[in-house]
Amino acid sequence: MASHQKIDRAPSAETLIQWDLKIGLYKLERPKPPGGGWIWMADHVIRLGVYKCFVIVGVRMATLMAKKDLTIALEDLEPMALLPMETSNGTEVVRKLEETVQKVGFSPDALVIDHGSDLYAGARLFCENHPGTRLKYDVCHKVACELKKRLNKNPLWEEMTSGAVQTKKALSLSKFAKFAPPQQRSKARYMNLDSLVKWGCTMLNEYVTLPEEVQRKVSWLMPLKREIRKWQGWVQIGQVTRDLIRREGFYDGADEVLMDKLIKIGLTSEETEEFTEELVDYVRSEGEGIHRDNRLVGTTEVLEGLFGGYKRMVGENKMSLNGLGRLILCMSSRIGEFSEELVHKAMTNVKCKDIDAWLDRAFMKNDKKILEQNQEQLCREEACNF
């Protein structure tokens, strides 16, 4: 902004935060273009505290079809709702979805979710109330759940994960740190299986050329060699499935395209064939009755990117007593269009008191004393992050 002579001095961190919040609130509250072709994606983002935030974003299929590729970027999205929730169950989820319909003035052509119990229960009820809305299961979570189901039955997988943890401890603070396995996530680790299996394969392939110290630390992989190769095949099958649905979406015939791609991989074990059949059947079921020209989005992974950006931004700060804090509005500012005209409208139409009022409604907080007591600490923590 300084280089374009829009400002003549550096603003304070708190001013920057207020600008960001104004843009986020403007995008969230502005009218949404009516008409068909809207696909909604919904999920929860969770931090410390009593609240989780129910996030609903939308994308128009016409926008994606114009790109000839359904891969969704943050700029393709439009924020529909940011809804802090103390309790999340099927009843609450369907209520929030109905409130969003009333707010924006239309229901979507499809709702794409993972199958968390509360989210799935509420979304299913919502689609029953709105027969024109199809319910679609996110491909990334489907692949992860199928992998989890199989790996949890295999005691050798436990050896793999525990061995990787010990090896990481042994190598991370040594001169051989570059050979250490990737950090495993306690949550959703089956969605990040690829990197661990890839590390195992690399260690096995390069074992004879590794330094002796590293060889000793990873020798436990040798008895698992056959299993690791099998898991590598499963990872490859999952990647092909995700990539196809990410680019092409769900439609009648997508399962045939997927089968052709998987046949070319040439994996033949009985367990691998069963895994393949499960994913092909899933794609067939989700695409049933959908013409290729009217295909639908099949993944919510763009939400994972949005949530990850939000969590990196707020870092370890607790932000407020509720655990989420005002920066949830920055998830809204990070998506959709970004132009000088939009910024001008946001700064003109949104006041600081509008942000305070929205936060009071969102968190049902009317105790100004509590907010004032925490404001100074919030500013310090947020300024450190910025």
* Domain boundaries along the sequence of the chain: 13-137+300-385, 142-291
Contacts of 128 (CB under 8 A, 6+ apart): none
Distances in Å between the Cα of 206 and the Cα atoms of 155, 190, 202, 264, 294 are 25, 25, 6, 26, 47
Give residue 266's pLDDT: 79
Strands 134-137 and 110-113: parallel
Specify which residues 136 forms β-bridges with.
Answer: 112
Tokens of 311: 């969590």
Fold held by 13-137+300-385:
Nucleotidyltransferase; domain 5 (3.30.420)
Cα–Cα dist 177/121, whole Å = 45
Residue 114 CB neighbours (<10 A): 24
Give residue 369's pLDDT: 41
Weakly modelled stretches of the chain, pLDDT under 70? 47-49, 186-191, 316-324, 365-386
Give residue 303's pLDDT: 93
Give residue 385's pLDDT: 55
Q: What are phi and psi of 129, to 5 degrees?
A: -80, -20
Give residue 182's pLDDT: 92
Give residue 126's pLDDT: 97
Residue 101 CB neighbours (<10 A): 19
Give residue 383's pLDDT: 55
Is residue 135 classed exposed, middle or buried when 0-12, 13-18 and 19+ CB atoms within 10 A define those classes? middle
Give residue 269's pLDDT: 78
